[in-house]
Amino acid sequence: MEHNKIFIVEDDEKISSIIQSELAKWQFQTAGVNDFQQVLQEFSTFQPDLVLLDISLPYFSGYHWCQEIRKQSNLPVIFLSSANDKMNILMAMNMGGDDFIAKPVDLDLLVAKIQAILRRTYTFNDQPSQLLTYAEVQLNLLEGELTFQKQLVKLTPTETKILALLFATPEKTVTRETIMEKLWESEEFISQNTLTVNITRLRKKIQAAGFPHLIHTVKGVGYTLVKSDE
């Protein structure tokens, strides 16, 4: 099954048109927004595999729409914005985004990131083993869920992939380089803060749900999956 439907939430018609034309060259099916008060409805109608989401939009910001999308789907979301300062990048990730591309958009970079995130999101879901367990904590790769006793945490695709790598070799260090290469396929395609922001968000989400501490930093090297109450 192909996963090639891209929903573009961008109010600049010229930028949206350029992106749609470029993606069409790569056989992606695209749709832009017609009514920026009905983004969620149009999203539901189109049923995309990935969303490109601008931050500054009419009526409601991209942050708002990302939160609304996350209430019903864990599909990949890539933020697009000319506001590429650290605060906006952090905000985008904390609101549930999987990646961030600064404007003006480098089309080659955009296509590479879309291809990489679709590949890692949907080929992961085709793996024979969909459930990974460590110390009573269970990771459901297909549903993007982490469970412990009666607690459940919904995960974004990026969070699911990070945990899957850690669950694959529990109590052993997975280097930052390994995670970045597995998730983004090339370190040059991501900022140095992207992984750190995702790890920080994931830790907060897990701890807020009452889970034990799971992700431990090995300073200067990477991360380890170890259950502790500290």
* pLDDT, tens digit, 9 for 90 and up, residues 135-191: 889 998 878 889 998 889 988 878 888 898 899 888 999 998 888 877 765 444 455
Read off the pLDDT of residues 77-119 as tens digits, 9 standing for 90 and up. Answer: 999 988 766 777 777 877 788 888 888 999 998 998 898 888 8
Please give the pLDDT value at position 48: 95
Residue 122 scores a pLDDT above 80:
no
Evaluate whether the domain defined by 5-124 bears CATH number 3.40.50.2300: yes
pLDDT for the residue numbered 184: 64
Q: Name the β-bridge partners of 29.
A: 5
Which of these, 65, 78, 53, lies nearest to 190 by C-alpha position? 78
Q: Where are the domains of the chain?
A: 5-124, 131-228
Architecture of domain 131-228: Orthogonal Bundle (1.10)
Q: How far apart are the first and last CA of the chain?
A: 44
- Kindly state the average pLDDT of the residues 21-46: 95
- For the chain, the average pLDDT equals 86
